[in-house]
Every structure is written in C-alpha cells, then in structure tokens.
Structure 1
Amino acid sequence: MATYHLKIVGKRDEGNDAASLWLEVPQDLRGAFSYRPGQFLTVERDGDGGRIARQYSLSSTPEAHRDLRITVKKIDGGAVSPWLVQDVGEGQALEVQPPRGRFFRGFDEPRHVLMLACGSGIAPILSIARHLLAQDAGHRVTIIYGNRTPDAVILGDEVGALAESHPTACHVEQVMSRAGESWHGARGRIDKTFIETRWKDWQAASHGLSTSIFLCGPQEFMDDAERAFVDLGLALADIHRESFDLVLNDDDGEPGLTLVGVNDPGESGPCERIVAVVGGEEYETVPEEGESILAALIRAEADVPFSCQEGTCASCISKLTEGSASVRPGVLQTLRQDDLDEGLTLACLSRPTTRSVRIDFDEI
C-alpha cells in the first residue's frame, strides 16, 4: 500500500522504554489520514532483510488533536520499536501507511463502556475513551489499567485527567502487579479472578446501561479476560479486542471457515479472477492454486495494504463483496463471526473458492 512521509513534530518519553511521537499531516493528506478512535498506523523502515513494517495504535483522538500521535513501547530485539523510542527525533520523518483497523465502530445509544488495558494497550483505549466522553452522549466509561510498577505506566497523566474532567461519567482504576510498599492502589493481575471479584462493582457503575467490553494488551491477558466475561454472561459481540500478536496458531490443517460475498455468492469452481478495490482503484489478477487472496495480489504488484502476511497485524482487513472464500479459523482471533457475516476478512488468511471474487480494501 502507498506510504507517506510524515514529519515528527513532537516526542515525549512515556514511562520506562516507551515514547509518544506526534506526526504532522500536510493539508493535502488530511483525507487520506482521517481516522476513527482505536485505529493504528503502519510504520515502515529499511532493515537487513528488506522493508520492515510494524503497527502502532493511535493514542490521539480525531476531534481533539490536529496531529497524529502513536505511542510505542520498546520491544527488546525489535526491528522498529527500539529505533522509534531511542533514535528518531523531532524534525525527522517516518514512512507510514494511512490508518486502518476496526477495534471501535461507535454506538447508536448510550453504553457503559468497560475498558481493560495492560501496558501499551492503553494507547487505543485512551483514544476511544476520550472520544466517547467528548460526545456528551450519555456514555459511562470505566478504565481498568494494569502495569507491573508505577514507573511503567504509559500516558498516566492523560488517563487520570479523563476521570478528573468527567467525574460522573468516567472512573479510572490502576492495578499494579509488582508495586512496592509505597503503592496504595489495587494490586495483582487483571485476570479471571480479578474480573469475577469486581464484576458487581462494574455492573453498579453502569447505572442500568448495557455494557460493552474493550480489551487491549498481551494475548494471554485478553484470552483470560474474554473467558471471564463470557462466563459472566456477556455475548461475544459485546467484547472487543485489539492485538498485534500472532493469530495463526498453526491452524492451516484445520477446516476453513466459509466466507460469502455480501453482494454475490459467486459460482463455484477454480478461481480465474480476483478483483481488488484499493483507494478507489481496481486491480485484477489470476491466483495460482492454493494461493491466498493477498499473496495473489502482491504477486500482481497490486497496491494493497499488508505487512506480516501471517494474520498478525490486521493490515489486510477487507470486505469480500462478490464470490466466496475459505478462511483460516485463526481469523477469529482478530475478527468476530458477525464481522465475517458482514463479509469482512483478512486477505492473507483467505483463499478463493469461486470462479471470481471481488474484495474491497476501502469499505471497512
């Protein structure tokens, strides 16, 4: 997918080994870089083996900030995050793709939004919470934010400011798993036991509103939290999660899920044509046997968004509008069944099963 050079106009250290970077968007790129709260940017750089791309959530909020901001936690041995946290500075430019992602899609009525984050997972959570509270639409927001120690907290001042500026609509609680004696707040891990213990308090905080859950952090944390909420009676459709961890889990030998185009189911048979819509343009190619939709488009040099090609990053999220496909079951670690029912998929995990398929990377 096309990338653009955006200048770094601000940088701030965040806790231990993390930083926020503000990126200036020129006026002629405002449309391309418009975004929803909870979306991410893909940052690219040259590496030893060629181009490297990594995804970082936007911690800015559209209606509150003119510039874009990503908040990055340094990963030891990482190919991009140490460079962003330690080396780049104001005045330099980053090569980035336009925002993508479907972590948050909005609500038609007031909700109690219960948001659980660990570590750098607070970045999209903060963006969404700020957006909901600024709407003044009757939402109530509860943020439970976990870290090991207080000096590891990222964006702590801004998270606290939300509760201070919206004392009746927002509640924030920080939880430390390895804090010293000076810490007087909640202790422990945000796990199944913690959630079950606090659930009645969170229900009371809803003031009768239906609850939606947002999770962002390590995969194990989100899996544990999701199981806890399902056991408490919440529907999977009300639990939203964001992660850039590997989702394949070696599922290639398992039966694929069937995805049907929302406009036309297509005619069964060996695929003879893939049409992709990207940035208002169409690209067409003929796939090879067993090839994923994304692989076929990359081979044809179509300007499609992608990064990991393994189901890790969600960059290739797209909508199948015509035809049918078999999708690796690992997609359900990133998308929900109701997303698939709407035709959404990850192109890297999808193989065409009809003579023609049409997939739209814009309509997400």
Structure 2
Amino acid sequence: MTPRDGAARTLMERMSGFHALPVRRVERLTESAVAVTLGVPDALATTFAHRAGQHIAVRHRLDSTGTGGEGGSGDGGEEIRRSYSICRPPGPAAGPAEPGTRTLRIVVKQLGPGGFGEHAVTRLAAGDTLEVGPPKGSFTLADRPGAHHVLIGGGSGITPLLSMAAAALDEDPRCKVSLVYANRTARSMLLAEEVADLKDRHTGRFFVLHVLSGEERETEVLSGRVDASKLPRLLAGLGADPGADRTHFYLCGPWGLVESVDEVLRELGAAPSRVRRELFTTDPAAPEQPGRQNPGAGVGVGGGARVTARLHGRSTEAEMTPQDPSLLAAVLRHRPETPYSCRDGLCGSCRARVVDGEVVLARRHALTQEEQDAGYTLPCQARPASEHVGLDFDA
C-alpha cells in the first residue's frame, strides 16, 4: 500500500466513523460465546458515549480461510460487518471513568463455522484491535419515571436487556424492572451470574423468570417456549399489566420469540407506543411494504432510477443498475464510507430520511413507527418507487 493509499484509507475510516480500539479482555461465557472488553481512548470518549440498549458495528476482514487475520483487520479478504449490543460491565454502577480507563463491552456468539463469531471465540485475545463504529440505535429505555419496565428476551437478547435493566434500576429509584429470559437450557444462558447479582442488589425492585424450552423446571409455566398460552401467566406472576400506562415492554431476541410476544401483548391491550423491540434474526419471508405513504408504482431495481445521497454534508448522485439489490448498494459504489452493518433491516446503521421521491421498504425492524412517519427508511432494504430518490444520511 502506497502512502497515498494509506492516507486515503485513513480519511475514509475517519469519515465512516470506524476506529481501531484495543482489546483489553476476552472472557469465555459459554462454549460458543465470549465477552469482549474494548478500551476507549479519552479522545474518543464523546464518540462512544451511549445509552443502554444501543449497539456498535464491528468491521472485520476474512482471510482466505474465512476466519480473518490477527486483530480481524487488514487489506486483504472479504469485509464483513456485525452489530453487537453494548453490554454493561458487571458490578454496581461506577462514577465518571478515570482517564485511560473507559471501556466498551460486547458479547459475541459463534453461530457457525467461519466469520467474526468464530474468530472472536477461538482466536481473539487481549492486545488485538477491532475496528468499531460509534454507538447507534433507538432501542432504549422509555423516559417514564416510576415505570414498570418489562424485559422479555431470548438467548443473546439478554445483552441489551441487562444493560437496560441496570440503567433503569440505578437511575430511577421509583421504577420496577421485570425480566423474562428464555433459553434452551440453563447451560446455554448468557450472563446468568450477572443477572443474579443485579437481582441481589435490587431486591424488591428487580424480578426475574427463567424459562427453559429444553429442560423441565419446577413449575410448568417455566418449562417450554414462551407462547400465547404461557405469556399471560408469566406477566401475571410479575404483576405486569399490559394495559397499564406505566408498563413498558422491551423485546429482544430471535424473530419467532419477538413476533409472537409482540402479537400477544397487543391482544392483551399493550399500546404499540409502549412496546419496543429489537431482533437478532429476521424472517426471510417478510413481505415487502411501502416505506412511505402513497408510494408510486415503482420502477424496479433495474429501472435506472437516480439516487441522490447526502452524507457528511456532501451530496452524490448514483444510478441504480439491475445488479443493485437496494438503494444502499447503489450509494456504496460512489460513497464507500456510507454507514451500514447487517444489511437485513435489523440494526438501523444505514438509516436515512427520504427527502425526495418514494421507496418500497421490505424489512423495517430497526425503525420505530415514529421514524417511519417522519420519512426515515433503511436503504439496505429499500428500493426506488419513483424515477428519483433523495436520501439524507445526515438527518
């Protein structure tokens, strides 16, 4: 790589918001999951300030074996991006961090061979570095003092939920927090000891129910899947009234769990504004729906639609081609620093406002109804429904 190439890459990384953070610690949680603690330089303290429930994107390069080189970065290999919820460190809430002691913590689970999950679980070690983007996401606590926050999650969904529980309990002495945590077995639970510690520190305010689908529990309601017949009984045991204005729900985990719980909550009277959700997996059969009201007939991905993208104060025009699966793909050809991570409509890293034209949006899980009403879309899942589409990534 020439000095000019190096300077260009440094500029691109600065514009895209990715920063090389040192790995301070890698802690094994289960056979297939680790907690990774990253150091945050004092100069980046503001950049990585976050609210409980938000996530960061990790940029990683695969080598020829599909696992990535040391530190997970470099010039060769395929680039992949993965989003991980920021997981609060164990123990009581600390005061302002001393200079040089700021950290971020994430939980990484290996879901199969290859990819960043395998690299993190089998090779990542203290002293390595990871390329990390700033915190994003609107899956955060409702600003309602004295609320009853009911958290329902499965598997890796505990990572943002535990942070949200701790933040609510520490910051609002009037609130109550309840957690329904679904797993296959007790052995597969993530952060179980930290959940128990938080419960011990907040006796009478934090209540936890563990539901296992692959093991028999002491009572029938805690065995099997969290479904339409079981959820009302679990909520009754926690004193959570879905119809009460003070009760707010937070759902996080795989598609099946989140969708079924959301549906039941609405049937039980929970207002949509009091149910927040985040998915770690998606439904491949999700139907396409208009991203804005009264969309045009649509010109199709290969229809030659023009896209104007405003990013970092600069506007760029791109033209859709038959090979472009989304608006994001067209924009990336001209602006490779455009933010994105999952490309599945889950993380919201690529969120932009539609300022001209119309789009058809497929998966929209990372958008709240308020964001959709305000004209925001997810370019990774959006296609043009007019001859010209204007996107504002700075909005």
TM-score when scaled to structure 2?
Answer: 0.78
Q: One-letter code of the match for 1:26?
A: P
Structure 1 residues 221, 168: closer, same or farther in 2, change over 3 A? same
Local SS of the residue matching 2:112: coil
| Separation in structure 2 between the aligned mates of residue 209 and residue 165 of structure 1, nearest angstrom | 27
Q: One-letter code of the match for 1:177?
A: S
Which residue of the partner structure matches residue 216 of structure 1? Answer: 252
The question of 1:338 aligning with 2:370 is answered yes
What percentage of aligned pairs have identical amino acids? 28
Structure 1 stretch 167-176 or stretch 122-131: which is displaced more? 167-176
Cα deviation for residue 179 of structure 1 reads 2.8
Cα deviation for residue 184 of structure 1 reads 11
Which residue of the partner structure matches residue 381 of structure 2? Answer: 349
Structure 1 residues 235, 351: closer, same or farther in 2, change over 3 A? same
CA contact (8 A) 1:148 1:178 kept: yes
Which residue of the partner structure matches residue 282 of structure 1? Answer: 314
The question of 1:166 aligning with 2:181 is answered no
Structure 1 stretch 282-291 or stretch 46-55: which is displaced more? 282-291
Q: Give the strand-richer structure, 1 or 2.
A: 1
Q: One-letter code of the match for 1:112?
A: H
The question of 1:40 aligning with 2:55 is answered yes
| Separation in structure 2 between the aligned mates of residue 249 and residue 177 of structure 1, nearest angstrom | 25
Which residue of the partner structure matches residue 229 of structure 1? Answer: 265
1:25 corresponds, among 30, 40, 47, to 40
Summarize deviations over 1:102-145 as a string: whole Å, max 9, x none: 11153144321110111111000011111111112522110111
The question of 1:141 aligning with 2:177 is answered yes
Cα deviation for residue 46 of structure 1 reads 1.4
Which residue of the partner structure matches residue 323 of structure 1? Answer: 356
CA contact (8 A) 2:255 2:283 kept: no
| Separation in structure 2 between the aligned mates of residue 45 and residue 136 of structure 1, nearest angstrom | 38
Cα deviation for residue 286 of structure 1 reads 3.6
Q: One-letter code of the match for 2:272?
A: L
Superposed, 1:122-201 pairs within 5 Å as 122-179=158-215, 186-201=222-237
Structure 1 residues 25, 176: closer, same or farther in 2, change over 3 A? same
Local SS of the residue matching 1:276: strand
Structure 1 residues 327, 132: closer, same or farther in 2, change over 3 A? farther
Cα deviation for residue 272 of structure 1 reads 5.5
CA contact (8 A) 2:253 2:280 kept: no
Local SS of the residue matching 2:292: strand
Q: Which runs of 5+ in 1 are unaligned?
A: 261-269
CA contact (8 A) 1:317 1:346 kept: yes
Which residue of the partner structure matches residue 258 of structure 1? Answer: 292
| Separation in structure 2 between the aligned mates of residue 120 and residue 192 of structure 1, nearest angstrom | 22
Number of aligned residue pairs: 346
Which residue of the partner structure matches residue 263 of structure 1? Answer: none
1:53 corresponds, among 81, 106, 112, to 81
| Separation in structure 2 between the aligned mates of residue 182 and residue 151 of structure 1, nearest angstrom | 17
Superposed, 1:64-79 pairs within 5 Å as 64=94, 66-79=102-115
Which residue of the partner structure matches residue 128 of structure 2? Answer: 92
CA contact (8 A) 2:177 2:206 kept: yes
Which residue of the partner structure matches residue 276 of structure 2? Answer: 240
| Separation in structure 2 between the aligned mates of residue 191 and residue 37 of structure 1, nearest angstrom | 27
Structure 1 stretch 169-178 or stretch 304-313: which is displaced more? 304-313
